[in-house]
A = this chain, B = another copy of it.
Amino acid sequence: MIKVGIIGATGYAGGEIVRILHNHPDTEIVWYGSRSYVDEKYANVYRNMFEIVNNICDDGTLEELASKVDVIFTATPQGFLAKHLNEKILNQTKVIDLSADYRLKDVKVYEKWYKIHHESPQLIEKAVYGLCEINRDKIKNTDLVANPGCYTTCSILTAYPLVKEKIIDPNTIIIDAKSGASGAGRGAKIQNLFCEVNENIKPYGVATHRHTPEIEEQLGYAANSDITIDFTPHLVPMNRGILATEYATLLPKKDGTYPTEQEIREIYKKYYEKEKFIRVLEKGAMPETRWVETSNYVDVNFVVNERTHRVIMVGALDNLVKGAAGQAVQNMNILFGLPEERGIDFVPAFP
């Protein structure tokens, strides 16, 4: 059994790791870390866990935990892990970080967008960006996984094949993303009260959202060049789910004509046909968040607009599963040589 410690187990992402690992056949959670609820019964914080989890919430140092577990999941505020992580810990245990601390390779970009001083930049190079379907070979051999952001996972996977194959001009990419409210976390803020979120849709972080450089970096690797995009997130009155609607201009082929629907579909198939968790929908069926809820699937599809020579790509996932805890467990499976779908092979629940 893989011994697991979770730091930040009482946030929404942390709670989802608990839910998923509870039924995972190869893991045992031995540490429910929570600074806010230390010494409280975990099941008093999340009553769905009554009679399922009997543990008490712990506080304690990362070092203490490192000696007790095989893997640590950190679902912590930005800057926390960068402050506390060191080589010694990484020699003792594996770390899967759900924060952004090790996602961006250029520490200056991190510090600019997050407005935080990074306290362990020397570890960034060791980290592997845990987008499983793209980086699984590198993930196998690391001790530090930078688990991708929720918006990022959805945004990248939706456009990746067309960027990689130079079907679209990457600098024309515009991502209009929509998220359920669990993405905002469980902090007590007026802006996240029911009456403020319900019966409303709003954009936020326009042109400044922190997931922007993460998307640009990863799609830049695919494009093999630096790219700049527009990314606008919106808050939708629902608990779970991210939908990314992505626009890009098609690049003409050598003969001057534009790629056809069928040609583009072949490219998506080439990249994703064997991927269990990425479903390229049939022509005409657009992704919707309800069809992936509580599952680890990403649904993607696209429409070619022949009038504008743009392609509209759409992706959907559950922000707490493939966008956070599910992908984190998928990364854990890769790290420990388990089948990638072990314990996360959920059928989406509807309605």
Contacts and interface: CB of A to CB of B under 8 A. Distances in A.
A239 interface: yes
Interface stretch (A62-70, A101-109, A142-150, A185-193): A185-193
A59 interface: no
A241 B200 contact: yes
A187 B195 CA distance: 11
24 contacts: A12-B351, A47-B288, A49-B347, A50-B281, A176-B245, A178-B201, A181-B198, A182-B195, A188-B189, A192-B195, A193-B194, A195-B351, A198-B198, A199-B289, A200-B289, A201-B288, A201-B289, A207-B304, A228-B308, A229-B308, A230-B305, A230-B312, A232-B312, A294-B349
Interface of A: 12, 15, 19, 22-23, 44, 46-52, 171, 174, 176, 178, 180-182, 186-190, 192-204, 206-207, 228-230, 232, 234, 236-241, 243, 245, 247, 279, 281-282, 285-295, 299, 303-305, 307-308, 310, 312, 314, 345, 347-351
Contacts of A239: 194-195, 198-199, 351
Nearest to A179: B201
A12 to B, nearest CB: 6
Contacts of A237: 194, 198, 236-238
Contacts of A194: 181, 192-194, 196-198, 237, 239
Copies in the complex: 4
A186 B182 contact: no
Given A201-B243, A279-B51, A288-B200, A193 B192 contact: yes
